[in-house]
Amino acid sequence: MMEEAQRLLKQVYGYDAFRKGQSEIIEGLLGSHDTLAILPTGGGKSVCYQLPALMLPGTTIVVSPLISLMKDQVDALTRLGVPAAYLNSSLDASAYREVMRGLTQGAYKLLYVAPERLDGTMFETLASQLQIPLIAIDEAHCVSQWGHDFRPSYRQLAHWIGRLEHRPPVAAFTATATPEVSRDIADMLGLREPNVFVTGFARTNLSLSVVTGVDKRKFLRDFLRQRPDQSGIIYAATRKEVEEVCADLQKLGLAADKYHGGLSDNERASAQENFRFDDIRIMVATNAFGMGIDKPNVRFVVHWQMPSDVESYYQEAGRAGRDGEESDCLLMFEPQDVQVQRFLIERGTQDPQRRSIQSSKLYTMMHFARTDRCLLQYIVSYFGEADVTPCGKCSNCLDQSEKVDMTEEARKALSCVGRLKGRFGVTMAAKVLKGSRDKRLLELGLDRQSTYGLFSNWAEKEISDWLYWLVAEGYMRISDGEYPTVSLAQEALPVLEGSKTVMRKRSTAAKRRATGPSV
């Protein structure tokens, strides 16, 4: 079977080899397994369901919400000599009839359908007239309320699929799914013991780096000076900051322009064009910039502040190096920028559940900025992809600084947090360790804790940095919700029991310590 697939890959598409994940997905589908595949955009998902469609008897149904892409896909297949059609609201009555007639004659190997077309009647018609060997569902995260683009019509799908007399294998595809969203997709679509594939998230041509505690303006100037001919994007969190950074760069004589939601349509369109055609070299923008730009030679992406979550970060950073050439992604992290994002979340939504999801995503983003681990590995495993080796070129991989044993400090911090029993946040835990005379702390009697004042000669900020580092490394966790509290994770036990040592890179440890006297 797979030899046949390999042969068709070459014959129909002209590709020499499968990409990572493709052959495994195809093999599973040919073996009639339900499948959930999480592949990044551009990862090559079309081949995963088109090849099985070619090899299996009958007409494969592809559900897709993107009407404009449907036509492109069908045109592309037709050019490749694969008979395919689509049904969506863009067809007029006669075109629609034409497709239906073709279907009854079994003329198509693939039929693309918009989800809102697939009501009960449609399903019955298709099921009675077609042999359906496979149903592929694109943008499957639309079925999940936890995803970012929930569509009620996707909820109906599972119902109709479940009622088919011979339910074919179902393959769900998405480019954005955290583990929770993946589980939700599988539940909502009623996937039966699906093969789950998460692959292709490691963009190995990107060198990620995080800097903290630098003079941002100076750092950025040096960064740009080292790249006099390169094109890149600088993302800032607010319009005001975009204006300031852009003005600063223009003053230096750099070919920079700006893009944010406060500009007129004309201004934005012209900035985008100028950037695309290399009339300007540097685009300073809010996250409003990016949808639909597909400039291959973006050599760097700088985040002037951290974005709200790892998905956004990686999506924005990933606009560098589309052409596969080596590119740099720099995140300038300052703990106070977390507050800006928190403010944006609070302003952005009233819904407590949404707020809580966003706030936990914000924490993950913050942990990314603080981790000692390989940055690429951190991101890729966030998306659920296992087995990725350290990239060897992110700022953490390159940081050869020796590690220092922080086991004692970790044990003190963890026992303090353990004793607070998940009732308080990081700030209060830091105050207890500091031995603060904070009014609320005293009212609560927390000065009677045995861990009170254990870090009395550290700065309070240094203590909370240390606590956040322990969270980032998985020893503690922070709850969701409006008043996030900190508590111990399973990982803390071996440290408290003395069977595990905690090592921290000297560079990060020293940077924190520099802000106050050490223990």
Binding site for Zn ion (CB under 5 A): 374, 376, 390-391, 394, 397
Cβ at position 24, least distance to ligand ADP in Å: 13
Residue 146 to residue 186: CA distance in whole angstroms: 13
Q: Kindly indicate which of the ranges 18-26, 331-339, 350-358, 364-372 contains the residues binding ligand ADP, using the contact rule CB under 6 A.
A: 18-26
Let me know: does 436 contact 453? Beta carbons within 8 Å: no
Binding to ligand ADP by residue 260, rule CB under 6 A? no
Binding to ligand ADP by residue 301, rule CB under 6 A? no
> Quick one: 25 or 470, whose CB is closer to ligand ADP?
25
Residues making up the chain, counted from first to last: 519
Binding to ligand ADP by residue 123, rule CB under 6 A? no
Binding to ligand ADP by residue 11, rule CB under 6 A? no
Binding to ligand ADP by residue 80, rule CB under 6 A? no
Cβ at position 507, least distance to Zn ion in Å: 15
Contacted entry of ligand ADP, Zn ion, none for residue 58, CB cut-off 5 to 8 Å set by kind: none
The binder of ligand ADP chosen from 25, 29, 30, 39 (CB under 6 A): 39
Contacted entry of ligand ADP, Zn ion, none for residue 42, CB cut-off 5 to 8 Å set by kind: ligand ADP
> Quick one: 44 or 453, whose CB is closer to ligand ADP?
44
Residue 56 to residue 49: CA distance in whole angstroms: 11
Round the CA-based radius of gyration of the chain to a whole number and report it: 26
Q: Kindly indicate which of the ranges 12-20, 93-101, 267-275, 429-437 contains the residues binding ligand ADP, using the contact rule CB under 6 A.
A: 12-20
The three-state secondary structure class of 94 is helix
Q: Kindly indicate which of the ranges 45-53, 182-190, 296-304, 489-497 contains the residues binding ligand ADP, using the contact rule CB under 6 A.
A: 45-53
Distances from the Cα of 170 to the Cαs of 63, 65, 113, 410, in angstroms?
Answer: 11, 17, 15, 48
Residue 81 to residue 74: CA distance in whole angstroms: 10
Q: Which residues pair with 198 in a beta bridge?
A: 38
Conformation bin of residue 446: beta by default, left when phi > 0, alpha when psi is -120 to 50: alpha
Contacted entry of Zn ion, ligand ADP, none for residue 397, CB cut-off 5 to 8 Å set by kind: Zn ion
Contacted entry of Zn ion, ligand ADP, none for residue 43, CB cut-off 5 to 8 Å set by kind: ligand ADP
Binding to ligand ADP by residue 44, rule CB under 6 A? yes
Q: Where are the alpha helices (DSSP H) in 12-92?
A: 22-30, 45-55, 67-79
The binder of ligand ADP chosen from 28, 35, 45, 358 (CB under 6 A): 45
Which H/E stretch holds residue 302?
A: strand 298-303
Q: Kindly indicate which of the ranges 37-45, 99-107, 240-248, 457-465 contains the residues binding ligand ADP, using the contact rule CB under 6 A.
A: 37-45
Residue nearest to ligand ADP (CB): 44
Q: Which residues pair with 328 in a beta bridge?
A: 207, 300
Contacted entry of ligand ADP, Zn ion, none for residue 44, CB cut-off 5 to 8 Å set by kind: ligand ADP
Interaction mask 341-370, ligand ADP, x per CB under 6 A: ------------------------------
The binder of ligand ADP chosen from 31, 42, 213, 261 (CB under 6 A): 42
The three-state secondary structure class of 31 is coil
> Quick one: 322 or 403, whose CB is closer to ligand ADP?
322
Cβ at position 50, least distance to ligand ADP in Å: 8
Let me know: does 442 contact 457? Beta carbons within 8 Å: no
Q: Kindly indicate which of the ranges 15-23, 152-160, 318-326, 400-408 contains the residues binding ligand ADP, using the contact rule CB under 6 A.
A: 15-23
Conformation bin of residue 497: beta by default, left when phi > 0, alpha when psi is -120 to 50: alpha
Cβ at position 39, least distance to ligand ADP in Å: 5
Residue 290 to residue 518: CA distance in whole angstroms: 44
Residue 335 to residue 508: CA distance in whole angstroms: 14
The three-state secondary structure class of 65 is coil
Cβ at position 16, least distance to ligand ADP in Å: 7
Cβ count within 10 A of residue 378: 20
Q: Kindly indicate which of the ranges 35-43, 290-298, 332-340, 397-405 contains the residues binding ligand ADP, using the contact rule CB under 6 A.
A: 35-43
The binder of ligand ADP chosen from 32, 41, 456, 518 (CB under 6 A): 41
DSSP 225-286: HT-TT-EEEEE-SSHHHHHHHHHHHHHTT--EEEE-TTS-HHHHHHHHHHHHTTSSSEEEE-
Cβ at position 169, least distance to ligand ADP in Å: 19
Binding to ligand ADP by residue 15, rule CB under 6 A? yes
Pairing of strands 35-38, 110-113: unpaired
Pairing of strands 327-333, 298-303: parallel
Q: Work out the angle at residue 168's Cα, subtended by the Cα atoms of residues 166 and 173, and round it to the nearest 5 degrees.
A: 155
Binding to ligand ADP by residue 43, rule CB under 6 A? yes
Residue 180 to residue 163: CA distance in whole angstroms: 26
Cβ at position 456, least distance to Zn ion in Å: 37
Let me know: does 139 contact 65? Beta carbons within 8 Å: yes
Q: Which amino acid is at 470?
A: L
Contacted entry of ligand ADP, Zn ion, none for residue 41, CB cut-off 5 to 8 Å set by kind: ligand ADP
**Beta carbons within 8 Å of 366's beta carbon, 6+ residues apart:** 306, 335, 338, 468, 472
> Quick one: 17 or 95, whose CB is closer to ligand ADP?
17
Cβ at position 325, least distance to ligand ADP in Å: 17
Contacted entry of Zn ion, ligand ADP, none for residue 106, CB cut-off 5 to 8 Å set by kind: none
Residue numbers at the binding site for ligand ADP (CB under 6 A): 15, 18-19, 22, 39, 41-47
